[in-house]
Amino acid sequence: MTPDAALANISYDCHDRQVSWHGVGMVDGDAFDSFMTNDVASRLHDEEGAKEFEAHLRGLATTGFARASLETILAAEVPEERDWAVGEAMAEAYLGRELDITWPWNMKRDKRTPKASLPGTDLVGFEVKDNVVRLVLGEVKTSSDIDTPPNVMNGRSGMTHQIDNLASNLGLINQLLKWLWPRCKGTAHEASFNAAIALFFDSGNKAVALFGVLVRDTRPNELDLKTRGQSLAGTLQAPTTCQLVAIYLPCAITDLPTRASRGGS
């Protein structure tokens, strides 16, 4: 992983068998502002889906009264202002930018009420490396905890356990594939789905790229990830791989919604 130096610097980069852990320190400046207001905001607000949806609705509003009603509906959208939601969008944007990972579906579309959180895993996509397509599954945690490692890494709801579960819980994987297939069918992502899942089956349900992304507003510290990375290296079986990435922010986590909406102050 070699990020754009204007956006981030590598703080640490370690490996243990099929598991790696990296710390990247974001650099405050124009590159970070652009990343937040473009890449991150686009994922956070599902700009691609929102534009398509709005264009379709405008085609249905054929009178002045209908157009006014439509504008009222569009103006009533509740903006996403939760820190962890911005953290998830940042993880998707960063992994897509640095590791050629595609996200076939924006999970914001599955929310039926404003501010809802969805069950299941945070990251579902495809990794293309050396012309080989693999299924990507992962978790994102956002934490201002001063402890190292932060509490979000520990326990049954912690990142380490959740990633281990993604590698071994076939019932969960069954549900994720059922969810993913209709979102890829008939789209540009169908070929990636077919290639990734065929490889997954041929590997005995092991060929999956797992990711854990930790978003922090503390100083970089390898101990945030080292113990968890070593633990996963002892349990995950090749060809399963796992990358843990800690993103260290140049601002407070509580500032993320503002930075995503209009950049730095």
Does any domain span residue 255? yes
Please indicate, yes or no, if residue 134 is contained in any of the structural domains. Answer: yes
Provide DSSP, 206-261.
Answer: --EEEEEEEEESS---GGGTHHHHHHHHTT--TT-EEEEEEEE-SS-GGGHHHHHH
**CATH code at 18?**
3.40.91
**How many structural domains compose the chain?**
1
209, part of any domain: yes
| 263 pLDDT higher than 70 | no
Residue 185 lies in a domain: yes
The answer to whether residue 204 sits within a structural domain is yes
pTM of the model: 0.92
pLDDT digits 0-9 by tens, 48-84: 999 999 999 999 999 999 999 999 999 998 888 899 9
Expressed as residue numbers, the domain containing 123 is: 8-45+82-262
199 — pLDDT class (breaks 50, 70, 90): very high
Q: What percent of the chain has pLDDT over 70?
A: 98
Averaged pLDDT of the chain: 93
Q: Which two tokens stand for residue 6?
A: 């204007």
Tokens 């008939």 found at: 186
Confidence at 262, pLDDT banded by 50, 70, 90? low
DSSP line for 35-68: IIIIIIHHHHHTHHHHHHHHHHHHHH--SHHHHH
Element (H, E) at 174: helix 170-184
Of 149, 160, 145, 154, residue with least CA distance to 211: 160
Q: pLDDT, tens digit, for every residue of 112-165?
A: 888 877 778 999 999 999 999 999 999 999 999 999 999 999 988 899 999 999
- Asked if residue 228 lies in contact with residue 235, where contact means CB atoms within 8 angstroms, the answer is no
CB 229 within 8 A of CB 19: yes
Convert the pLDDT of each residue in 165-178 to its tens digit: 999 999 999 999 99
The answer to whether 215 and 91 have CB atoms below 8 angstroms apart is yes
Average pLDDT for residues 183-209, to the nearest whole number?
97
Rounded Cα–Cα distance for residues 103 and 126 (Å): 7
Q: What is the DSSP secondary-structure string of 144-164?
A: ---SSS-GGGSSTTSHHHHHH
* Residues recorded for the chain: 265
pLDDT at 1 (0 to 100) = 66
Task: For residue 139, tell me if it sits in a domain.
Answer: yes
pLDDT at 226 > cutoff 80: yes
- The set of residues, in sequence order, having a beta carbon less than 8 Å from that of 213 and lying 6+ positions away, is 91, 94, 95, 123, 138, 139, 140, 141, 244, 245, 246, 247
Is residue 254 one of the residues assigned to a domain? yes
Q: State residue 81's pLDDT score.
A: 86
229 lies in some domain: yes
CA 220 to chain centroid? 20
pLDDT (0 to 100) of residue 15: 95
